[in-house]
């Protein structure tokens, strides 16, 4: 998914300078795609489709940061690529574990799985918190930088839509957690895949550490941002 982001940055930030009118159009498309995909995720019941819509929505944030092109927004977009990669990989693996165990994809047919899949449930929640952007997880800092950079570019209404998208993200991911893992168990589904469970636990842990130790990846992000900002002058 991130290859498309790289291609956009390579072509339109390095090779071709975006005209101001096009830049504004891309900013609008980025925030609208993020908002529409988040809205679709709120009414979807297929586990994997929800995460797919979520990915489209979060990629919109990255495109927004790159298109606004203030140093703060670019830093947020680059940091977002790292944080989203860790957290979303964890969410998709959690979905795979649940679907493999229950043989179902409709989240309305699940429930109570935290009792039989505690590691998967906790890992899902931590990764979801990062994607939502709750402090002190990594997703918080990346979204904050994108929104701050958007405000600095005098795109306050765009920043407001991006913030509303974050609220929708919180709604649909917590809805998934509640329907899949809380309540009374409907299906006997123990954690039968230790290797996958171990991987999601590691990804969840990395999502937490990436937020607590955000100063380290930020050094690399700031170096890249300085280079990109110089090129855009």
Looking at per-residue confidence, does 176 or 69 come out higher?
A: 176
Q: Residue 179 has which token pair? A: 């329907």
- pLDDT band at residue 8, thresholds of 50, 70 and 90? low
Q: What is the mean pLDDT of residues 54-68?
A: 90
CB atoms within 10 A of CB 22: 13
**Measured distance CA(55)–CA(98) in Å, rounded:** 19
CB 50 within 8 A of CB 179: no
Q: What is the DSSP string of 64-83?
A: HHHHH--HHHHHHHHHHHHH
- pLDDT band at residue 11, thresholds of 50, 70 and 90? low
pLDDT for position 214:
84
Q: What is the mean pLDDT of residues 139-157?
A: 92
- pLDDT band at residue 15, thresholds of 50, 70 and 90? low
- 102-128 confidence digits (pLDDT tens): 999 999 999 999 999 999 999 999 999
pLDDT for position 22:
77
Buried b (16+ CB within 10 A) or exposed e, 178-196: ebbbeeeeeeebebebeeb
Q: Give the sign of the dihedral formed by CA 143, CA 145, CA 150, CA 154.
A: positive
pLDDT for position 7:
65
Residue 227: is its pLDDT beyond 90?
A: no
36-50, 55-69, 182-196: which range is least confident on average? 182-196
Residue 10: is its pLDDT beyond 80?
A: no
Q: What is the DSSP string of 173-208?
A: HHHHHHHHHSSS-SS------HHHHHHHHHHHHHHH
What are the distances in angstroms from CA 12 to CA 5, 150, 185?
10, 19, 50
Q: What is the mean pLDDT of residues 6-31?
A: 73
Helix or strand (DSSP H, E) at 47? helix 47-68
Q: What is the mean pLDDT of residues 131-141?
A: 90
The top-scoring range by mean pLDDT among 38-52, 69-83, 212-226 is 38-52
**Measured distance CA(99)–CA(21) in Å, rounded:** 45
CB atoms within 10 A of CB 84: 25
Query: Domain limits of the chain?
Result: 2-232
Peptide bond before 112: cis, by omega within 30 degrees of 0? Answer: no
Residue 13: is its pLDDT beyond 80?
A: no
Scan for tokens 């790159």, then name that residue.
66
Residue 179: is its pLDDT beyond 70?
A: yes
**Measured distance CA(154)–CA(113) in Å, rounded:** 46
Strand partners, 46: 106
Q: What is the mean pLDDT of residues 16-29?
A: 78
- Looking at residue 137, the DSSP 8-state letter turns out to be S
Residue 18: is its pLDDT beyond 80?
A: no
- Looking at residue 214, the DSSP 8-state letter turns out to be T
CB 72 within 8 A of CB 222: no
């Amino acid at each position: 998914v991130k290859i498309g982001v790289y291609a956009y940055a390579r072509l339109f930030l390095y090779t071709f300078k975006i005209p101001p009118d096009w830049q504004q159009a891309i900013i609008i498309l980025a925030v609208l795609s993020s908002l529409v995909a988040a809205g679709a995720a709120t009414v979807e019941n297929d586990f994997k489709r929800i995460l797919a819509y979520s990915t489209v929505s979060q990629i919109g944030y990255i495109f927004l940061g790159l298109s606004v092109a203030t140093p703060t927004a670019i830093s947020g977009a680059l940091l977002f690529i790292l944080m989203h990669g860790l957290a979303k990989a964890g969410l998709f693996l959690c979905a795979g574990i649940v679907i493999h165990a229950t043989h179902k994809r409709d989240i309305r047919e699940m429930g109570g799985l935290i009792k039989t899949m505690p590691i998967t449930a906790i890992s899902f929640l931590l990764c979801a918190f990062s994607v939502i952007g709750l402090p002190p997880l990594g997703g918080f800092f990346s979204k904050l930088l994108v929104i701050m950079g958007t405000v600095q570019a005098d795109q306050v209404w765009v920043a407001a839509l991006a913030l509303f998208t974050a609220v929708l993200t919180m709604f649909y991911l917590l809805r998934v957690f509640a329907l899949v893992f809380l309540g009374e168990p409907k299906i006997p589904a123990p954690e039968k895949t230790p290797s996958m469970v171990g991987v999601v636990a590691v990804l969840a842990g990395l999502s937490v550490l990436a937020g607590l130790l955000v100063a380290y990846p930020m050094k690399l992000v700031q170096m890249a941002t300085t280079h990109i900002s110089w090129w855009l002058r």
